Chains A and B, each alone.
Chain A
Amino acid sequence: EAGVVQSPRYKIIEKKQPVAFWCNPISGHNTLYWYLQNLGQGPELLIRYENEEAVDDSQLPKDRFSAERLKGVDSTLKIQPAELGDSAVYLCASSLGVLAGGHNEQFFGPGTRLTVL
Chain B
Amino acid sequence: LAKTTQPISMDSYEGQEVNITCSHNNIATNDYITWYQQFPSQGPRFIIQGYKTKVTNEVASLFIPADRKSSTLSLPRVSLSDTAVYYCLVGDPLSGGYQKVTFGTGTKLQVIP
Contact surface of A with B, Cβ cutoff 8 Å: 4, 33, 40-45, 48, 55-56, 91, 93, 98, 101, 103-111
Contacts and interface: CB of A to CB of B under 8 A. Distances in A.
Closest 10 CB pairs of A and B: A108-B43, A42-B103, A105-B46, A104-B93, A103-B49, A43-B103, A42-B104, A91-B43, A98-B94, A42-B106
Contacts of B106: 42
B69 interface: no
Contacts of A108: 42-45
26 contacts: A42-B104, A42-B105, A43-B43, A43-B103, A45-B99, A45-B102, A48-B99, A55-B96, A56-B99, A91-B44, A98-B94, A98-B95, A98-B96, A101-B94, A103-B49, A104-B93, A104-B98, A105-B49, A106-B36, A106-B46, A107-B46, A108-B42, A108-B45, A110-B41, A110-B42, A111-B42
Q: Is the interface of A mostly helix, strand, loop or mixed?
A: loop
Contacts of A42: 85, 87, 102-106
A53 B85 CA distance: 32
A98 B103 contact: no
